[in-house]
Amino acid sequence: MAHDETTPSAPEMSWFAWGDPERAKTLDPGLRDLIAQVLDADVHEMPPVDEADVDLPPSRLTDHLRQALAGVAGPEHVVTDDTVRLRRSGGKSTPDLLRRRSGQADPAPDAVIRPADHDQVQRLLELCSAEGVAVVPFGGGTSVVGGVDPLRGPFDTVVALDLRRLDALVSFDRTSLTAVLGAGVRAPHAEELLGEHGCTLGHLPQSFEYATIGGFAATRSAGQASAGYGRFEDMVVSLRVATPRGTLELGGAPASAAGPDLKRLLLGSEGTLGVITEVGLRVRPVPETVLDEAWTFPDFATGTEALRVLAQSDTRPTMARVLDESETFVGAAMGGREAAPGCQAVLGFEGTAAEVEARAALVRELMTAAGGTRLGPEPVAHWRENRFSSPYLRDTLLGAGILAETLETATTWTGLLPLYEAVSEALKGALVGEEGGAVVMCHVSHTYPTGASLYFTVATAASADPLARWDRAKRAASDAIADAGGTISHHHAVGADHRPWMVSEIGPLGAEILRSVKASLDPEGVLNPGKLVPERS
């Protein structure tokens, strides 16, 4: 089997785990036993099956379709090799990884198509719409909500549309501080390309090492420095989007009142309305100075209240997060360090030296008045070193029989602690019994003037049926979020996994709007079936 091409900046990800197979680790047996004791559960090693033993359904691509697709993208870019199809058979949620580790890779795409440019994407969508071929856009493949599952809907054939070759800096405007990037540019490569001009996006989600610019746009991503750089959608100044009905070119002006902002309808559309091929972005000069500070608070309520004060002031850090008691304790323990009691917060400031110093001084006053104690920069340095490595730790735990998964939401400041309690209780309540309990941790990592996100991490014994076990917990948490008025996702997006909660999120008439736009842009319904858009009930 031919090996897949990769972009210069990142190797192909493991088929059964996050990221670079070279960076996988095994869990220290002493630590594993300690975790089992805390969880009050038996844990058993869960090695993945051999790749050769994976149950990958054969490609159903007909010769007719192969020729037609090859006529657009070139025969070498219509790939049906099992190695390649397996690596486009889904994303990176814990259920995704559990399925593939156990040898289950059905559904898989019938082919992986690798177009070279916007025009090829446009022609491929017209072709697939005419031929009735389901199209699943695929960027970094980092979805944790089933967003890239190759569901075929009512169609015989489903293809993964791999956008990795749309890998260029299309244009750069130093005066306006804007750049147009191809949808397939991975985030580290984007930083390289912009770095040559002295600029940065400042967008660093946990998926940074693999995720693509198009994926960020399609899923309304938020990076760890969102307090300073904004959410990804707020950086987008223009979009080029291919649809079965033609191409959309939206935006360009810094602001407009020429009707609704249609860019916002494509941002977050998750490949169901069109395929984003180019993204015009606001960029920033690489900051002159980065200043980090850790703080400690007696408890989570005090820590979140301090972050509220910062978010509502005119002088904010570039990055601000606070961990609850459990995450503070576990984070330090996993790193072999001892945490201060209570809750840890990490702040980062970026900008010119003068700006950073002025902002940090004002913030220190606010944090101290809010009950915080300054710890110095060391815990932030540790966090920065490990900021993209949690998914590797998850794989390590999974190999040792410990299921670790995350979920997230956001709500108003008033609703934040009640939502925190409700979701924590729902998770713990769903994960009790003979199979042991769960450790539930949480942090606030994205703050806004009116509210904040909550990011939960759950660890529990995988048990004999880890998929069913997690499904129960996830449903309980999602229902608790919906009942408490939180959003079903702050930055993971909807995909297949959150789709059942979309009507509660936007109402039946909101769902009708999404269906009407989809009918207009994708009349045959070939774009990413089974994702995001609720079916008519």
Binding to a copy of itself (CB under 8 A): which residues in 314-333? 314-315
Query: Cβ of residue 312: shortest distance to a copy of itself, in angstroms?
Result: 6
Query: Cβ of residue 140: shortest distance to a copy of itself, in angstroms?
Result: 16
Of the candidate residues 7, 14, 178, 326, the single one contacting a copy of itself (CB under 8 A)? 178
Distance, in Å, from the CA atom of 466 to the CA atom of 459, rounded to the nearest integer, reads 12
Query: Cβ of residue 195: shortest distance to a copy of itself, in angstroms?
Result: 18
Show contacts of 18-25: CB within 8 Å, 24+ apart. Answer: 18/92, 18/97, 18/391, 18/392, 18/394, 18/395, 19/209, 19/210, 19/391, 19/392, 23/389, 23/392, 24/392, 24/395, 24/396, 25/392, 25/393, 25/396
Backbone angles phi, psi at 186, to 5 degrees: -75, 155
Of the candidate residues 62, 102, 104, 312, the single one contacting a copy of itself (CB under 8 A)? 312
Find, among 421, 413, 406, 407, the residue nearest to 483 by Cα: 421
Identity of the residue, 377 or 500, whose beta carbon is nearer to a copy of itself in the bound complex: 500
Of the candidate residues 27, 65, 79, 265, the single one contacting a copy of itself (CB under 8 A)? 265
Whether 99 and 91 have beta carbons less than 8 Å apart is answered as no
Binding to a copy of itself (CB under 8 A): which residues in 71-90? none
Identity of the residue, 4 or 305, whose beta carbon is nearer to a copy of itself in the bound complex: 305
Binding to a copy of itself (CB under 8 A): which residues in 233-252? 233, 237, 243, 245-250, 252
Whether 423 and 409 have beta carbons less than 8 Å apart is answered as yes
Longest dimension (CA), the chain: 70
Query: Cβ of residue 127: shortest distance to a copy of itself, in angstroms?
Result: 18
Q: What is the DSSP letter of 527?
A: B
Distance, in Å, from the CA atom of 19 to the CA atom of 262, rounded to the nearest integer, reads 34
Q: Which two tokens stand for residue 464?
A: 């004999």
Helices 118-131, 63-73: inter-axial angle, 10-degree rounding: 160
Query: Cβ of residue 355: shortest distance to a copy of itself, in angstroms?
Result: 5
Of the candidate residues 264, 387, 472, 475, the single one contacting a copy of itself (CB under 8 A)? 264
Identity of the residue, 184 or 280, whose beta carbon is nearer to a copy of itself in the bound complex: 280
Binding to a copy of itself (CB under 8 A): which residues in 285-304? 285
Site string for a copy of itself, 102-141 (x = CB under 8 A): ----------------------------------------
Which residue's entry shows tokens 């919906």?
482
Query: Cβ of residue 447: shortest distance to a copy of itself, in angstroms?
Result: 8
**Judged by CB under 8 A, does residue 414 bind a copy of itself?**
yes
Query: Cβ of residue 237: shortest distance to a copy of itself, in angstroms?
Result: 5
Of the candidate residues 177, 286, 332, 467, the single one contacting a copy of itself (CB under 8 A)? 177
Query: Cβ of residue 96: shortest distance to a copy of itself, in angstroms?
Result: 18
Pairing status of strand 438-444 against strand 319-323: antiparallel
How many residues form the binding site for a copy of itself (CB under 8 A)? 97
Q: List, in order, residues 6 or more apart from 497 with CB less than 8 Å away.
A: 93, 145, 146, 474
How many CB atoms are closer than 10 A to CB 73? 23
**Judged by CB under 8 A, does residue 227 bind a copy of itself?**
no
Of the candidate residues 134, 217, 266, 527, the single one contacting a copy of itself (CB under 8 A)? 266
Of the candidate residues 30, 253, 338, 537, the single one contacting a copy of itself (CB under 8 A)? 253
**Judged by CB under 8 A, does residue 261 bind a copy of itself?**
yes
How far does CA 41 lie from the centroid of its chain?
30
Pairing status of strand 275-282 against strand 236-243: antiparallel
Query: Cβ of residue 155: shortest distance to a copy of itself, in angstroms?
Result: 22
Query: Cβ of residue 261: shortest distance to a copy of itself, in angstroms?
Result: 5
DSSP states of 260-319 as a string? S-THHHHTT-TTSS-EEEEEEEE-EEPPSEEEEEEEEESSHHHHHHHHHHHHTSS---SE
Binding to a copy of itself (CB under 8 A): which residues in 440-499? 446, 448-453, 485-494, 498
Identity of the residue, 109 or 215, whose beta carbon is nearer to a copy of itself in the bound complex: 215
